[in-house]
Structure 1
């Protein structure tokens, strides 16, 4: 946003914008959209079934109407079609897990000034936290995001002739699954922490890929990566590390590649002046809050890291899909 576009009204609207996010998160956390499902319910009937406070629940339901997520029909509340499709737990396109992950991040963001002052994260990273519920929201949130993007993104990446894919730090394995679905001759390995295994196995079972995609436990910063591959997929793991961590990850990925192998990085990529796009710039602050050294990287930085590890034929794969992600690919000799 350019300075000339700012007004005092817009500034105040942005400053209080978290009110709407908190109302949304409360609706998801209290399972209001799932309780309504395809039906309707009055505030009184929801109070009776949930035991929630009458005033609080009534005001939340009306705020969700004001946000356009619920509708009031003859005194009863109902999901809008959008909420029914994305906020009801029974919906295939449910996004509640990533919204709950955002909810868990909010307390840390309120302490951003502390992280800026002392250079230390104010909360543990979601991927490694001891809080099982927060870790579940994070991993299933990654599944939510990938399920929205992967079916559109994967067909745009040519893996013809490739036989073994490594999804490094692949979490629930959503991308590995979609790459294998799109490439019948491809087999995959999801490499991630042991706590991730149950989520990945559910994903692979969902797509009937348990025989073609396997899960290997390990820490990519500490352990060597077993096996050799002709394509390595690094999706949203570099931003969690500083430059040294990125060098370690990329070096291990390159060592795992066969001659002529391809490496693909997906991440929130900044312009080379570091001042945009907006989402990668804000996401970099999310890493300040949540990690020791992570940040968003500029396109030139990522290409430089890959080139220093021996990756050539570097190119940006442009796309116009939602999600604020960028792709950089290259091959090893």
Structure 2
């Protein structure tokens, strides 16, 4: 996603009293934005060229006084513009916060509001115990023999679909970047068999298939996720090139050894403990052809672990949700791959484009 999470707090914002107070109050900023999106304030602003408070109140089914409070918030952060007592969305708000925009991130915001925001209120508890907030997870056997992670979060089918749509939103652009990297490394003129382990809602596989016409992709995830992904693939007209299969990515799947040119692991490794990472990489090595390419997509920390802000926040997020998950630095990810029979490792940082970083490696012999 363009410019996602690319604010450089260390380089562009002063370490000052004002910044500290902004951080203290930032949960209220987020909640206010969530409220605006929940009542579709920006969608209604987008429907007409200039909207009065009374018109917004009717559209949002709120009182004029309540809408004025939301509009005041939007004005204060520059997301709403006022001219002659008529109100307009800023261009970025119109693009990202109106459901009428094809680039909107409303499902991602809804996911944060419903699912992530409440969990972060228990971050200190998780840090003190060293455990995830397991009472919000419904794992069938203490996570030792099951890999039911996101798919068995305590959500209705509707909530799960919100979650999967949000994951696809967060993944927008990552598949295109991976495809560019793969084309430069292994070429795209000849047919490529690609295995996507933990492909979630299918966004990354879809983008790769669109960018590399010769690619045939097998995507593996839990049944709930693959049902969602299969529908997304069908809507894109790619069902003949992307197969969405249910399975446990940490177990040995009924796939032929050394049958794939590329194995993709996108936003998965950092969610799990070291033992699970080793299992997944061993399976990856098994599925790859000799000299085949592993593509890992993660949002990487700097080697000094001092930022950027997005992967630092994601490390705290996986602290709440998983046992032992933590975001990688480029150095630590390279060490993990080289220690698990991969070589010729190449790191591509995609921060300027706002999407996850890409790391490519080759299957080493032996």
- Return the TM-score normalized by structure 1: 0.90
**Is 1:45–2:68 an aligned residue pair?**
no
Q: Deviations over 1:265-293 (max 9, x none)?
A: 11122333433333222211111122222
Out of 93, 101, 106, the residue aligned to residue 117 of structure 2 is: 106
Q: State the shift of 1:74 in Å.
A: 3.3
Out of 172, 191, 201, the residue aligned to residue 147 of structure 1 is: 172
Report the equivalent of 2:98.
Answer: 88
**Is 1:131–2:131 an aligned residue pair?**
no
**Is 1:115–2:140 an aligned residue pair?**
no
SS of residue in 1 equivalent to 2:352: coil
SS of residue in 2 equivalent to 1:165: strand
Gaps of 5+ in 2: 1-9, 138-148
For residues 75 and 272 of structure 1, do their structure 2 counterparts lie closer, same or farther at Cα, with a shift above 3 Å needed?
Answer: closer
Q: State the shift of 1:97 in Å.
A: 1.4
Separation in structure 1 between the aligned mates of residue 104 and residue 59 of structure 2, nearest angstrom: 23
Is the deviation greater in 156-165 or in 169-178? 156-165
2:293, 2:360 within 8 Å by CA — same for their partners in 1?
Answer: yes
Q: Deviations over 1:100-145 (max 9, x none)?
A: 2222311211221111111122243644313134432321112113
Is the deviation greater in 234-243 or in 221-230? 221-230
**Is 1:58–2:89 an aligned residue pair?**
no
**Is 1:174–2:174 an aligned residue pair?**
no
Separation in structure 2 between the aligned mates of residue 77 and residue 204 of structure 1, nearest angstrom: 38
Out of 41, 54, 58, the residue aligned to residue 32 of structure 1 is: 41
1:33, 1:84 within 8 Å by CA — same for their partners in 2?
Answer: yes
Aligned pairs, number: 332
Separation in structure 2 between the aligned mates of residue 62 and residue 5 of structure 1, nearest angstrom: 26
1:101, 1:137 within 8 Å by CA — same for their partners in 2?
Answer: yes
Out of 281, 289, 292, the residue aligned to residue 320 of structure 2 is: 289
Report the equivalent of 2:250.
Answer: 221
1:127, 1:138 within 8 Å by CA — same for their partners in 2?
Answer: no
For residues 151 and 304 of structure 1, do their structure 2 counterparts lie closer, same or farther at Cα, with a shift above 3 Å needed?
Answer: closer
For residues 303 and 105 of structure 1, do their structure 2 counterparts lie closer, same or farther at Cα, with a shift above 3 Å needed?
Answer: same
Separation in structure 2 between the aligned mates of residue 148 and residue 68 of structure 1, nearest angstrom: 26
Q: State the shift of 1:170 in Å.
A: 0.8
Q: State the shift of 1:257 in Å.
A: 1.0
For residues 318 and 269 of structure 1, do their structure 2 counterparts lie closer, same or farther at Cα, with a shift above 3 Å needed?
Answer: closer
Separation in structure 2 between the aligned mates of residue 148 and residue 38 of structure 1, nearest angstrom: 27
Report the equivalent of 2:141.
Answer: none
* Greater relative contact order, per chain length (Cα 8 Å cut-off, separation 6+): 2
**Is 1:187–2:196 an aligned residue pair?**
no
2:178, 2:208 within 8 Å by CA — same for their partners in 1?
Answer: no
Separation in structure 2 between the aligned mates of residue 153 and residue 217 of structure 1, nearest angstrom: 23
For residues 211 and 72 of structure 1, do their structure 2 counterparts lie closer, same or farther at Cα, with a shift above 3 Å needed?
Answer: same
Q: State the shift of 1:187 in Å.
A: 0.5
Separation in structure 2 between the aligned mates of residue 184 and residue 82 of structure 1, nearest angstrom: 32
- Return the TM-score normalized by structure 2: 0.82
Separation in structure 2 between the aligned mates of residue 259 and residue 112 of structure 1, nearest angstrom: 43
SS of residue in 1 equivalent to 2:353: coil
Is the deviation greater in 23-32 or in 34-43? 34-43
After superposition, the CA RMSD in angstroms is: 2.4
Separation in structure 2 between the aligned mates of residue 271 and residue 46 of structure 1, nearest angstrom: 44
Q: State the shift of 1:225 in Å.
A: 5.4
Q: State the shift of 1:176 in Å.
A: 1.3
Separation in structure 2 between the aligned mates of residue 287 and residue 153 of structure 1, nearest angstrom: 23
